[in-house]
Amino acid sequence: MAWETVIGLEIHVQLTTQSKIFSGASTRFGAEPNTQACLVDLGFPGVLPVLNEGAVRRAVLFGTAIEAEIARRSVFARKNYFYPDLPKGYQISQYELPIVGRGHVEILLENGERKRIGVTRAHLEEDAGKSLHEDFHGYTGIDLNRAGTPLLEIVSEPDLRSAREAVAYAKKIHQIVTYLGICDGNMQEGSFRMDANVSVRPVGQEEFGTRTELKNLNSFRFLERAIDFEVERQIDVLESGGEVVQETRLYDPQKDETRSMRTKEEANDYRYFPDPDLLPLVIDDAFIEETVRDMPELPEARRRRFEEQYGLSAYDADVLTATRAAADYYEAVVAVAGDAKLAANWMMVELYGALNKAGLELAESPISAKALGELVLRIADDTISGKIAKTVFEEMWQSGRSADAIIDEKGLKQITDSGAIEAIVDEVLAENAQQVENYRNADPKKQPKMLGFFVGQVMKKSQGKANPKQVNELLRKKLE
Amino acid sequence: MSELHQKSLRELGEGLAAGAFSSVELTEHFLQRIRNHDPALNSFITVSDREALRQAGAADERIQKGEGGPLTGIPLIHKDIFCTHGVKTSCGSRMLDNFISPYDATVVEKLADAGMVMLGKANMDEFAMGSSNETSYYGPVRNPWDTERVPGGSSGGSAAAVAARLAPAATGTDTGGSIRQPAALCGITGLKPTYGRVSRWGMIAFASSLDQAGPMARSAEDCALLLSVMAGFDERDSTSVDRPVDDYLAALEQPVKGLRVGVVKEFFGEGLDSGVGASIGEAMKVLEGLGVELVEVSLPHSRYSVPAYYVVAPAEASSNLARYDGVRFGHRCEDPKDLEDLYKRSRAEGFGAEVKRRIMIGTYALSAGYYDAYYLKAQKVRQVIAQDFRNAFDQADLLLGPASPEVAFRLGEKSDDPVSMYLSDIYTIAVNLAGLPALSMPAPRAHGLPVGLQLIGNYFDEGRLLNLAHQLQLATDWHLQTPEGFE
Amino acid sequence: MTLEREDVEKIAHLARLAVAEEQLETLRGELAGILRLVEQMDELDTGDILPMAHPLEMTQRLRPDLVTEENHREEYQAVAPLVENGLYLVPRVIE
């Protein structure tokens, strides 16, 4: 039987506010345990929450970016359950009336087509703390620094039909939130966390199969592998006459499998009700206008602009706008170098090649955008040749010094004095009289190829510094 | 000197300012009275005598420098529901028997800033759940008018201490009548302000959408002085109202002639003790004598207020009390065998029977399949009740009725029957559901015991409430009567 | 609605309250009594009425995004039953 996969994602995005969603404690990552947990975060008797404006504005930015309806009135509710990393015994979240309503994003499929994926809703809520399971003589340690960090939970429609599509969608959301600057996108630190609801159904069947919820997917690779494993598992279960159990499953990256979470927990009964400590959140047009006025350019718009303004191919524009960091880097290179196409080539080929080889992210590049721009500028203004530039690039990568300093010190400056080049050309022609003779007698179609020999000889004699363009021109003239 | 504990707050303030006595002397006087009389009443959970004398010394310095205000140097007690920095804050519960608060409630902070001296923390029903002060982990409080009777609840310690002149003033909280009913049963004046008028920061939550702090003292004038300090916007409380505080002292002196006061028909029906009814009738006659116009009004759905309340309040409480899990503060059971055992035993041991009942009722009302029938239904009933009041205030400036259907009952009389206990708040609960201000003040005694006259105001009309109460107290001496043995 | 013993057990578990076997029946009776009181609401037709969650018609105020809190871990953990290295300790949680 042929099966169709149905996937919906729930993505938890930590927002980049300075302080927590309901308290004035810092959200900075990596502090000593419980040093950023104030009375409100700890749920002390008598404390009360007050909503952070920064979190609301970030939710509005996201909603606007995915063309969703921003709820003029939304309500915070309590989700009640007991867990040690949940200090109050309830999580403040939004339930019936979320701040961001139905929206959508577009993903690029492998066949080059674009597919629209629905976003059901996005709501504000508070993050929980962390349980540390290292051995404290049979105890678990609780660190509540993360408790109260603002989260935007983005829920997709069950529109995704493969693990690949799920990854493309997750990457698109990641791209949007980082472009907007509402999330730092750091997956290692848990700033962007994904859960997947996965089910399968026979092709052609209307109703959905029973779904399982996959947790602990903290990279795009794990997301893809977990879904692939789970789809296989569900199909195996169904094809051997079994039934899929609706449950939460944990992905184990070591074993590359999903397993049922061993809880004898009763069917969850979260007893949601409106939080009486918080009032309805009412947003007016002025608030939205003020928020979106400084909205950063979104990936789609920036891609189109790169094509138009810099004359880049669709492919190059896509690569260079993949992340906001890349697009910002690229534009900083162009600002210095001037030549947009040359800048694109150098960034995508040399820089990305070197980063890839070293296993580094763009943010960790030893060569800054300005430094790369200066190098590209020296190629563009004929100070050095592209070939020499590769040597300079390597030197810059190693030493962190500027292109100009390296060119100066090593005397790599290109020879552009036509007299000097002519002298070398004449020398080469004189030394290779037989080849000159052959060239002149050859079929004109073969001549360009034969010219390469003379160019090589000239470059060798000039230690690579002669301007190749000028050399070519002179040789052609003299060999006529 | 022996008369110090009979003075009003205004008189005490004037005496302190004039140097007739110092705050230290005044504080020592009350501490001595507490030592002498509280063993019979149990109105205190904590007496913070050393800290009180330190605060009194500081108040005296302030007064000497001419920097004192009208309340500087005057002692008071806080209901043990208010967090007090460095002082045990138990909320009447074993759960918080070991809890020393690391911060002050806004109310505590404001009164301390005004220079008031904290004598200690008042006994109360556990987590403010009760109408007799019998649910306290620290044992029942006794009514100074008859120590075999309850003082009412949940602010029973505050009411008993003020009635017995162990403190000139106290703070209380009112979720379903917890200021007004004990004020009534102990013969003092207590005001529950409009929801949002006084900050809830640092006031341990019972039912967040109903809880409101207020003053408890001997007269409306005393309450006006206290409320002037307690009221006001607090950015730490999202439900606090950003609106200027009225001049309550100036309001006291307004003329009351021609004021229309609605007599709530439903508060005089079946279930009202005839002695209490007669007492309220007497107070009404005096009001008429003052030129007040009494009109009959109806709150036709008031009988649904107790049922709706016992969904809304427990539902909120079940969630508010989930934080007591034995992890970060409060009681933790011995040797928990696993996480679930830690939770279940810590909570079962830390909470008393009434708190557990309410947590369970609230949990049930919110659980899947019952939410609409209970919680949502109760919120709709709440709307109906609030509408009743809106209609009534179209016909009257203030409303009037008894605060409690009967005088103080005997200890143990209702403690085995939760429902009959709940019904003792039948005249006070609707006010909390609507969020309105109301006060209870002494009417003539019945059966030798205090009776509370309840006045209900429109939103933010505390000034008018205090005005009428003050004018009535100028014309009568019911509020000046002191229980025997405590003069 | 009638309240069964199993309901009481389920609620007690949801609320994380240990209830001794022999107390269940008494508790069931008390809770059932309270529910009978509560169910008097059913007499009232509340069809189109808007539920009231708050006494006042106010909306949520927003706090500027500023860090206003400092580290007070020692003070806050002074009242904690069990801490080590700045962490609150609970019986081992198995995931």
Å between A358 CA and nearest CA of chain B: 46
Cβ–Cβ contact B97 with A under 8 A: no
Mean pLDDT rounded to a whole number for chain B = 97
Residues in chain A: 480
Task: Give the pLDDT mean for A147-151.
Answer: 98
Chain C residues with CB inside 8 Å of A25's CB? 67, 69
Give the closest of C12, C46, C75 to B360, CB-based: C12
Q: Bridge partners of A172?
A: none
**Which CATH number is A418-479's, of 1.10.1660.10, 3.40.50.800, 1.10.10.410, 3.20.20.10?**
1.10.10.410
Q: What does the pLDDT read at residue B481? A: 97
Residue A425: pLDDT band (50, 70, 90) is: confident
**C37–B379 C-beta distance less than 8 A:** no
Cβ–Cβ contact A338 with C under 8 A: no
Cβ–Cβ contact A129 with B under 8 A: no
- Residue type at position A251: Y
Q: How far is CA C55 from CA A278, A353, B202, B245, B320, in A?
A: 12, 64, 20, 19, 18
SS3 A376: helix
Mean pLDDT rounded to a whole number for chain C = 94
Which chains touch C (3+ CB pairs under 8 A)? Answer: A, B
Give the closest of B98, B209, B338 to C55, CB-based: B209
Q: What does the pLDDT read at residue A263? A: 57
Å between A393 CA and nearest CA of chain B: 56
**C43–B360 C-beta distance less than 8 A:** no
Residue B1: pLDDT band (50, 70, 90) is: very low
A-facing residues of B in 334-353 (CB < 8 A) are 339, 343
Cβ–Cβ contact C8 with B under 8 A: yes
Cα separation, B345 vs B351, in Å, equals 10
Residue matched to tokens 């708050």: C54
Which site among A47, A142, A278 would you substitute to test the B interface, given the most B Cβ atoms closer than 10 Å to its Cβ?
A: A47
Cα separation, B342 vs C3, in Å, equals 27
B238 flagged as catalytic:
no
Task: Dig out the tokens for B333 from the structure.
Answer: 């059971």
A27, closest residue in chain C (CA to CA): C67
B154 flagged as catalytic:
yes
> For residue range B108-128, what is the model confidence (pLDDT) as tens digits?
999 999 999 999 999 999 999
pLDDT at residue B2 greater than cutoff 60: no
Catalytic position from the list B79, B110, B121, B414? B79
> For residue range B241-286, what is the model confidence (pLDDT) as tens digits?
999 999 999 999 999 999 999 999 999 998 999 999 999 999 999 9
Q: What does the pLDDT read at residue B388? A: 98
Å between A283 CA and nearest CA of chain C: 9
HSE toward the beta carbon, residue A309, CA cutoff 13 A = 13
> C-alpha angle B255/B260/B261, rounded to 5°?
105
Q: How far is CA A325 from CA A240, A255, A307, B363, in A?
A: 48, 34, 18, 49
Catalytic position from the list B154, B155, B302, B424? B154
Mean pLDDT rounded to a whole number for chain A = 92
Nearest one of B361, B369, B383 to B313, comparing CA atoms: B361
Cβ–Cβ contact B371 with A under 8 A: yes
Q: What does the pLDDT read at residue A448? A: 82
Å between C40 CA and nearest CA of chain A: 22
Domains and CATH numbers, chain B: 4-253 (3.90.1300.10), 306-376 (no CATH)
Q: What does the pLDDT read at residue A264? A: 46
Chain A residues with CB inside 8 Å of C18's CB? none
The better pLDDT of the pair A269, A470 is held by: A269
Cα separation, A372 vs A367, in Å, equals 6
Q: What does the pLDDT read at residue C1? A: 64
* Rounded percentage of chain C residues whose pLDDT exceeds 70: 97
Å between C57 CA and nearest CA of chain B: 10
> For residue range B315-374, what is the model confidence (pLDDT) as tens digits?
999 999 999 999 999 999 999 999 999 999 999 999 999 999 999 999 999 998 899 999
Domains and CATH numbers, chain C: 5-43 (1.10.20)
Q: What does the pLDDT read at residue B178? A: 98
DSSP readout, B295-328?
A: EEE--TTGGGHHHHHHHHHHHHHHHHGGG-SSSS
**A50–B235 C-beta distance less than 8 A:** yes
A-facing residues of C in 23-62 (CB < 8 A) are 53-54, 58-62
> For residue range A255-288, what is the model confidence (pLDDT) as tens digits?
988 888 865 455 679 999 999 999 999 999 999 9
> For residue range B39-58, what is the model confidence (pLDDT) as tens digits?
999 999 999 999 999 999 99
SS3 A154: strand
**A24–C92 C-beta distance less than 8 A:** no
Q: What does the pLDDT read at residue B270? A: 87
Å between A180 CA and nearest CA of chain B: 29
**B237–A80 C-beta distance less than 8 A:** no
Chain C residues with CB inside 8 Å of B342's CB? 90-91
**C15–B359 C-beta distance less than 8 A:** yes
What b-and-e string marks burial along B172-211, b requiring 16 or more CB atoms within 10 Å of the CB? bbbbbbbbbbbbbbbbbbbbbbbbbbbbbbbbbbbbbbbb
How do the domains of chain A map onto residue ranges?
A: 3-289, 299-410, 418-479
Is residue B213 within a helix (H) or strand (E), and if so which, with residue range?
A: strand B213-217
DSSP readout, A246-263?
A: P-EEEEETTTTEEEE---
Residue A365: pLDDT band (50, 70, 90) is: very high
Strand B449-457's sheet: what is its strand order? B44-47, B117-122, B75-79, B169-173, B213-217, B189-192, B438-446, B449-457, B398-402, B260-264, B293-297
* Rounded percentage of chain A residues whose pLDDT exceeds 70: 99
